[in-house]
A and B are shown apart, each in its own frame.
Chain A
Amino acid sequence: MANTEQEILAGLAEIVSEETGLPTDSVLPEKSFTDDLDIDSLSMMTIVTLAEEKFGVRIPDDEVKNLSSVGDVIKFIQGAQA
């Protein structure tokens, strides 16, 4: 079942906020995980694992390095759900 971009953003924001303590409204598509949200590689892998479960997709390990912004993850999930 495909989610809208807004639903994916809201779901990701919830995961990132739980993991980092950042407010959900700071998690925006243009934000970089490392530069803007200060997320390290273990936290990134945690977010990916939880996002896979939440959105019913598989994000291959060698794909993760290409997902530098929140928007990149949203796009990947939309593509994987299509």
Chain B
Amino acid sequence: MTNAIDVVVTGLGATTPLGGDVESTWTAALAGKSGVRTLDNDWAQKYEMSVSFAGTLAVPAAEVLTRPETRKMDPSAQYAMIAAREAWADAGSPVVDGDRLATVVGSGIGGVWTILSAWDTIQEKGARRALPMTVPMLMPNSPAANLSIEFGARAGAHAPVSACASGAEAIAYGTQMIRDGKADVVIAGGTEAAVHPMPISSFAAMKALSTRNDDPAGASRPYDITRDGFVLGEGAGIVVLESAAHAAARGARVLARIGGLGTSSDAFHIAAPEPTGAGQTVAMQRALADADLTPRDIVHLNAHATSTPVGDMIEARAIRSLFGDDVDHMVLSATKSMMGHLLGAAGAVETILTILALRDRLAPPTINITQPEPDLGLDLVCNTPRELPAGPLAAINNSFGFGGHNVALVVTSA
């Protein structure tokens, strides 16, 4: 089926462990750099944490925003604001009727720093020291709401929450808003700021995190047989989505099209992925059908691939099952190898990397691969970028979240 309203991407913004903006992130990614580092604090010793590293922002938010801004927004909203301002400028700072402009920003965890520091204050100093901005800062819709205020977006401000699929789901939701005629332009993406001892310790309690403390930059290694868990990262990715007609009318540069959206839910387990990967395959199938494409059209796939022993191979099975014999002309990248897992921001940042891969015809590398899974059955882009073919290109970005949320986005070249 084809969609009556075509949705294009006209602006990109990001702040990640690899760089404070999109181009520095992309340059570092193509160079195969790692943004994962030992934490610059005493948490590991103080709390006896089993993990002492994460993918922390390359450029701290406090270096970009004003002091009042950092006081009035949780870090998760701060990162979204930084990425959104870049994306909006990248789109040419368009003049848009506010009634036709929306914001959609997801987060996996929300304002965890604000929640925990407010509770610390109350325990130490009593309820009278609770600050009045605490609730507006901690609520998970705060990034979307702050962006709607910043850009005067009155067509709606939404915050899809689906754990590590939130960022991709936000882009899907924003695309659907434009298709449904509810907006002409949507500022959409994901954000996460959960590099805090509580989430790190709790993910570690699930045995979900890599404990490669002596080699942080080498810890995230999707599809390598020595992988031992994911690496927590932080950041935000925001895209400006626009109806093709609106973009054309203002002469906007079009970076890519959001060709198709596919979602499904496993209905299986609150944290474990369903072992056959059937739900993931369905999400990809739906995205392809929505884009009116077949697996044969897909040249590149940015995998969810978090570097967990079990999850990576379930996704690989889901991809093989979808592609069948067409798998030989599709190259797979697992970019969490370089920046860790940005949870609710991951799907948005990785969609941006997928768009840039099509723009530059270069699939980004999967780093830290020394012994690839022998039974992978997929063409993994190991350690250095891979050229993509000439002509029109289509790619898939996968994002999956705790709770069994599966989101696949099909991106096609401009």
CB of A5 within 8 A of chain B? Answer: no
Tell whether, in the assembled complex, residue B132 and residue A46 are in contact, meaning their CB atoms are under 8 Å apart: yes
Q: Quick check: B133 and A42 within 8 Å, CB to CB?
A: yes
Give complex CA distance A42, B137 in Å. Answer: 12
Interface of A is mostly: helix
Q: How far is the CB of B178 from chain A (nearest CB, A)?
A: 33
In the complex, A49 Cα to B132 Cα: how many Å? 9
Q: Could you say which residues of chain A place their CB within 8 Å of the CB of B136?
A: 42
Q: Which residues of A contact B133 (CB under 8 A)?
A: 42, 46
**Alpha-carbon distance A16/B68, docked complex (angstroms):** 10
B269 CB-CB contact with A under 8 Å: no
| A-binding residues in B (CB < 8 A) | 66-68, 71, 125, 128-133, 136
- Per the bound structure, the CA–CA distance linking A20 and B66 in Å amounts to 10
B68:A18 contact, CB within 8 angstroms: yes
Interface residues of A in 48-69 (CB under 8 A from B): 49, 52-53, 58
Judge whether B71 and A53 touch: CB under 8 Å.
Answer: no
Chain A residues contacting B130 (CB-CB under 8 Å) are 49
Which chain A residue has the least Cβ–Cβ distance from B68?
A: A21
Could you name 13 residue pairs across A and B whose Cβ atoms are closer than 8 Å? A18-B71, A20-B68, A21-B66, A21-B67, A42-B132, A46-B131, A46-B132, A49-B128, A49-B129, A49-B131, A49-B132, A52-B128, A52-B129
**Closest Cβ–Cβ distance, residue A2 to chain B (whole Å):** 21
A19:B71 contact, CB within 8 angstroms = yes
Instruction: Report the minimum CB–CB distance from A61 to chain B (whole Å).
Output: 10
Q: Bound complex: CA of A58 vs CA of B129, how far in Å?
A: 11
A20 to chain B: which residues have CB within 8 Å? 68
Nearest residue in B to A50 (C-beta to C-beta)?
A: B131
| Known A19-B71, A52-B129, A53-B129; further 15 A-B contacts with Cβ < 8 A | A18-B67, A18-B68, A20-B68, A21-B66, A21-B67, A21-B68, A42-B132, A45-B132, A46-B133, A49-B128, A49-B129, A49-B130, A49-B131, A53-B125, A58-B128
Chain A interfacial residues counted at CB < 8 A: 11
Contacts of B129 in A (CB 8 A): 49, 52-53
Q: How far is it, in angstroms, between the C-alpha of A53 and the C-alpha of B132 when the chains are bound? A: 14
CB proximity of B329 to chain A, nearest CB, Å:
54
In the bound complex, what is the Cα–Cα distance between A18 and B62 (angstroms)? 13
A20–B69 CA distance with the chains assembled, in angstroms: 9
Q: How far is the CA of A46 from the CA of B125 in the complex (A)?
A: 15
A45-B125 Cα distance, complex, nearest whole Å: 17
B65 to chain A, nearest CB (A): 11
Across the interface, do B68 and A19 meet the contact criterion of CB distance under 8 Å? yes
Complex formed: what's the CA distance from A19 to B71 in Å?
7
A45–B136 alpha-carbon span in the complex (Å)? 14
Point out the residues of chain A lying under 8 angstroms from B131, CB to CB.
Answer: 46, 49
Instruction: Report chain B residues within 8 Å CB of A18.
Output: 67-68, 71
A52: chain B residues within 8 A (beta carbon): 128-129
Which 6 residue pairs are nearest across A and B when measured between Cβ atoms?
A21-B68, A45-B132, A42-B132, A21-B66, A46-B132, A46-B131
Give complex CA distance A64, B131 in Å: 15
Residues of A within 8 A of B67 (CB): 18, 21
User: How far does the alpha carbon of A49 sit from the alpha carbon of B66 in the complex, in Å?
Assistant: 22
Q: In the complex the two chains form, what is the Cα distance from A80 to B129 in whole Å?
A: 18
User: Complex Cα distance A46/B130, Å?
Assistant: 9
**A22-B250 Cα distance, complex, nearest whole Å:** 37
Chain B residues, Cβ within 8 Å of A53:
125, 129
* Closest CB in chain B relative to A78 CB, distance in Å: 21
Interface residues of A in 7-61 (CB under 8 A from B): 18-21, 42, 45-46, 49, 52-53, 58
Task: State in angstroms the CA–CA spacing of A73 and B132 once bound together.
Answer: 19
